Structure 1
Amino acid sequence: LERLAAKYGEVDLRIMQANGGSITAEAARTAAVKTVNSGPAGGVMAGAWIGRLTGDRKLITVDMGGTSFDIGVIEGGTPTVTSDGKFAGYPVKIPIIDIDTIGAGGGSIAWIDKGGVLNVGPQSAGADPGPACYGLGGSEPTVTDANLVLGRVDPAYFLGGEMPLDPELARRAIRTRVAKPLGLSLEEAAAGIIRLVNANMVKGIGVNSIERGLDVREFALIAFGGAGPLHAAELAGELGIRRVVVPPYPAALSAFGLLVSDTRHDYVRTIARRQSELQPADLLAAFLALEEAGRAQLARERVPPALQRYAWSTDLRYEGQSYELATPVERTRRMGRGTIERIVARFNALHQQVYAYSSVDEETEFINVRAAAIGRVPPVRLPRGRPGGASPGRALKARRPVYFAGTGFVPTTVYERDRLAPGQGVPGPALIEEPASVTVVPPGWGALVDPYRNLVLALRGRPRPRQAARSRR
């Protein structure tokens, strides 16, 4: 911290929160629960920011690293937030970005159960000893080993060549632990590992979206984490999603999310009133009191009034239910019976969307009122890249056989991502390599570099970019 202060001057140290905002280190010390799952929350916030550049208002974010696969949903440019989160099995009753996590990553171990059925994960080899191909003593076959055997990962270019992989160790692990016991060829076993981990991830995406009443075909997929771009197009194809966005430096996108996230403080008060008993003046007074507390906190943090923003919501449920649904409330200085009726109507519509039914004739209960105090951070601006020529030939690295489901090994063109310029398109099958990740463009897909150097993948050839916004927050 002293070195940072010496280089950049006296600046506040801020900590990411699970709600997608940041707080001071002092505030985090007194409310550590607010930082639960804050790293993945940074990834979702970065996904929303990238979506504003690409014109994607509906996004499913997928973050695949070495051990886990994190899924978030963005609607209308805003991440979905819940107050019913869990951490290590314990309920977390604070506003957090709604992220589902499953045990699926590059280190996920492939294993055969007592019934002779192949499984992948949730056990992970971690980083030490890691996948067998790391050569650090690991002997269990993993997703990374399978991708290496199938030609999707260059053993000489892992981490930009800083950590060469051993293909023979990967082959040995898959052959002895999976292929021989199941009577499969090496390639069939490796492809089966990829197919199973993809199925697990597709199921996880469905829980966070389809089972909550969303039509995923209306969404784009934004893929990040070191392993996310390796699997993204295949996941999208299984889900009927036709557009995938891979941002620059996908392995570090969650960290970028911290830079673009606003200061945020959440306040809550329990009122526990039936709709028929609730007085509009009491509801308004509760909201105004919470907002005033937030305004005082932002003032203490020296956030200028012009950069302050406030949002209200209330937790509602039908009488007799044991769970609530957060419902947005428009800020106002006056409330009447009509205001309460509009809030309840909005709740009914949300309940229908999330749970596929609503009970408009039942008594509605107002349980909690909430206010968020937000301090906008200075905008981060990305320069628009200079368009390149029509041909991506300058980025061409190699051609090698790569295995794809339904086709087996096919000759595949390999490109260096840093050498692809905005406007250049790459038809599949192709691999687009960068030091910490690889983007797989399957047959029948195409990739296009947009003005901000995002890779936009789409079905049926060279995709058209959506109308991109100017770089802004």
Structure 2
Amino acid sequence: MPYALGIDVGGTFTDAVASDGAGRIVSAKTPTTPPQREVGVMRAIEELAAELGIGVGEMLAQTDYIAHGTTASINALVQGSVADVGLIATKGHRDSIYIMNAEGRTLGRSAHEIQDTLRQRKPAPLIPKHRALEVTERIDHAGRVLVPLDEDEVRRVARALVDQGVEAIAVCLLWSFKNGDHERRVREIVHEIDPSLYVTLSCEVSPRIREFSRTSTTIMNAQVGPRLRTYLTPLQRQLEEGGLKGPLLVMQSEGGTITADRAPEHAITTVGSVLSGGVIGGQRLAGQLGHRNVITTDVGGTTFLAGLIVDGEPVMAPGSIVNQFPINAATIRVHTIGSGGGALASVDAGGNLRLGPQSAEAVPGPACYGNGGTRPTNTDANLVLGILSERGLLGGRKPLRKDLAREAIREHVAEPLGLTVDEAAIAIHEVQNAQAGDLLRRAVVQAGYDPRDFVAYAFGGAGPAHCAGYCRDLGVAEVVVPLGPVASAFSAYGLAASDVAISAELSDPSAFPVDHTVLGAHFDRLEADLQRALDRQKVKFHDVTLAREIDLRYSMQVNELAVTLPDTEITEGSGDEIVERFEEQYERINGSGAGFREAGVQAITYRMRARAGLGFPIVLPDIPEAESADPSAALLEERQVCLDSQIGFVATPVYDYARLRAGHELVGPAVVDVPTTVVVVPDGVTGRVDRLGNLVLRYDGGRS
């Protein structure tokens, strides 16, 4: 029987899902094993095989593909654990990465931080200046060669970088997005000197106008590429030696996969891979449930993630920012804060309770894990509050110690604030809900949408414990907690259900609308580029769909909006229709009447995305129906739980999810124990088990 696997390597846990395409789905959850994360991956695969009742070799031999999401790239950038990189730039232009286009002090900063001008600082440079060297060459804005490449100078510069011991070289020449011949020749010369050296070109990684962002993207690709290759190559070899016949695929930021042997070349596209899995899983579940607009919320051990699905499609962004440096790689727009289950609670110098962004991560973990952690986390607070049972996580295989949790909270939060341990625990719980709710409001409203038009999905190990709290003031009518066979491994389910996705783009700044023949020629070229890229994947595709978009702006403005083109043939009237779409989108975000067509519209970058289906049907199966709405047959126990600082501890029914059936209804307060998570149903909320085994929470019922 064929299988498809999804593996989600998070900062704290590694989640895995296996589907046979015929309605059977199993999941596994194991601790992440830094720095050798492949160990945790193999353990998760072993657990999947055990759930299926077959050997690992037998399962791998029947696996069509493994879709893998990894934090390796983003963690390397954030923590600075990257390869030593050299830069080759056009003579006179190496300092663009240090000048930072006057954006360095504000990129990625909140409005509050930007207003605090005295504390604004540029980040540390991506590479030291002695590793940023220049060569003589010049191509003009139309792609014409004005000054030939000085190949002897390239050899001297390349040897100088090799002698410095660099692990990779980034090549970013002026106007190479119009003509990449000089960059490609530089790579050939470097490989004459050292054939094994990792070399990345801006014309391949980021063919967009704007020198600073293109250079930073190329450098960061070179920084994480060698590390990603070092991680993926032995993992792929181990899987193949274990019997894997299908490809190992790696999730990208834009919500689709790429083969593992191609991923290191485009390593920067994998930076948000783990962030994307949950949104893609939400999109697939929304298709089964008939939801068009969804807010996805993923609370793992380290982070809280929020994404949007509008009219059935994830909301995208043309790039992202890491450590105040821009990345030119299309991505699912995901908002993130360090407020997961392992977020550390502390009291700052001003006597304020803080939660995150630092995390206990997998090692040493929360204090209650008993692995040496002594600082309190959100998980410790939930244990003290009775939300979590001392039986622990992972079906009891990870017991929790309340005494250690109470001691950590007492020392680091309760005594500094003059509170009891119980009061400090509920304060931590409520701060978590408040931080998450604030992020959700900003994510939805700042994108120009009304939260009341959305359904919220809550997943991740800690999401179900908090979702009713952080969604209460958002205005959504219901919250869906995906349980069933995927439970807290929902992002891994999204990985397994994803397609292969590749994008191509070109920059051609000009007044818009352009002649329809020019518009057609641009997208014909992009389609040809995509076809070549798909051919290089060496994967058999079930079907391929294409989507086109253009980054447009009003003249003299700095920022663009990515405008999706209608799925129709390009004609003489296409340009005007695209401008109308741009203005509708502009006014939705900035307010009615904010558009000003008289200023003129400019096109900056043209983009095309290809999504290639793998032909493996992955759907969540229906569960048995209950004879009545009464869930008493699933009652596990009654324990003292505190969900509200004003009410305190209340005797609360705890239900065993394994005994719940479709149609069962729970009236809050209640708790549902799931092997890999726990769902909280507060007072004033009702929960109903739907046909797929999800628990649907609504705010229109419950005891007052």
Q: Is residue 438 from structure 1 mapped to residue 678 from structure 2 by the alignment?
A: yes
**Residues 63-113 of structure 1: per-residue CA shift (max 9 Å, x gap):** 111111111111111111101312343211121100111010111111111
**Residues 355-383 of structure 1: per-residue CA shift (max 9 Å, x gap):** 33322322110111111122122221333
Which amino acid in structure 2 is aligned with residue 91 of structure 1?
P
CA distance in 2, matches of 1:438, 1:5: 31
Deviation at 1:447, TM superposition (A): 1.0
8 Å CA contact retained: 1:431, 1:440: yes
Q: Is residue 308 from structure 1 mapped to residue 544 from structure 2 by the alignment?
A: yes
Counterpart of 1:225 in structure 2 is 460
- Candidates 478, 491, 495, aligned match of 1:254: 491
8 Å CA contact retained: 1:260, 1:377: no
Counterpart of 1:452 in structure 2 is 692
**Residues 406-458 of structure 1: per-residue CA shift (max 9 Å, x gap):** 32212211011121111111111111111110010001111111111111111
Counterpart of 2:582 in structure 1 is 347
8 Å CA contact retained: 1:264, 1:374: yes
CA distance in 2, matches of 1:234, 1:242: 13
CA distance in 1, matches of 2:397, 2:555: 60
Unaligned runs of 5+ residues in structure 2 are 1-41, 43-55, 64-243
- Candidates 366, 375, 383, aligned match of 2:621: 383
Counterpart of 1:286 in structure 2 is 522
8 Å CA contact retained: 1:20, 1:42: yes
CA distance in 1, matches of 2:264, 2:424: 48
Q: Which has the larger radius of gyration?
A: 2
Counterpart of 1:465 in structure 2 is none
Unaligned runs of 5+ residues in structure 1 are 463-473
Q: Is residue 401 from structure 1 mapped to residue 631 from structure 2 by the alignment?
A: no
8 Å CA contact retained: 1:212, 1:355: no
8 Å CA contact retained: 2:636, 2:656: yes
Residues 442, 369 of structure 1: alpha-carbon distance in 2 compared, 3 angstrom cutoff:
same
Counterpart of 2:216 in structure 1 is none
Q: Is residue 105 from structure 1 mapped to residue 340 from structure 2 by the alignment?
A: yes
* Alignment root-mean-square deviation, CA: 1.9
Deviation at 1:298, TM superposition (A): 3.5
CA distance in 2, matches of 1:324, 1:26: 33
Which amino acid in structure 1 is aligned with residue 505 of structure 2?
V
Higher relative contact order (CA closer than 8 Å, sequence separation 6+): 1
Q: Is residue 48 from structure 1 mapped to residue 283 from structure 2 by the alignment?
A: yes
SS of 1:443 mapped into structure 2: coil
Deviation at 1:163, TM superposition (A): 1.5
Q: Is residue 159 from structure 1 mapped to residue 394 from structure 2 by the alignment?
A: yes
SS of 1:317 mapped into structure 2: strand
Deviation at 1:264, TM superposition (A): 1.2
CA distance in 1, matches of 2:568, 2:286: 30
Query: Structure 1 stretch 55-64 or stretch 168-177: which is displaced more?
Result: 168-177
Deviation at 1:307, TM superposition (A): 1.2
Counterpart of 1:264 in structure 2 is 501
- Candidates 428, 447, 450, aligned match of 2:668: 428
Q: Is residue 35 from structure 1 mapped to residue 273 from structure 2 by the alignment?
A: no
Counterpart of 1:369 in structure 2 is 606
Query: Structure 1 stretch 47-56 or stretch 380-389: which is displaced more?
Result: 380-389
Which amino acid in structure 1 is aligned with residue 320 of structure 2?
G
Residues 229, 305 of structure 1: alpha-carbon distance in 2 compared, 3 angstrom cutoff:
closer
Counterpart of 2:369 in structure 1 is 134
CA distance in 1, matches of 2:310, 2:350: 42
Query: Structure 1 stretch 282-291 or stretch 295-304: which is displaced more?
Result: 295-304
SS of 1:105 mapped into structure 2: coil
8 Å CA contact retained: 2:541, 2:613: no
Which amino acid in structure 1 is aligned with residue 452 of structure 2?
R
Counterpart of 1:6 in structure 2 is 61
8 Å CA contact retained: 1:416, 1:433: yes
- Aligned pairs, number: 460
Residues 450, 282 of structure 1: alpha-carbon distance in 2 compared, 3 angstrom cutoff:
same
CA distance in 2, matches of 1:457, 1:88: 37
SS of 2:276 mapped into structure 1: helix
Task: Please give the TM-score of this superposition, normalised by the length of structure 2.
Answer: 0.63
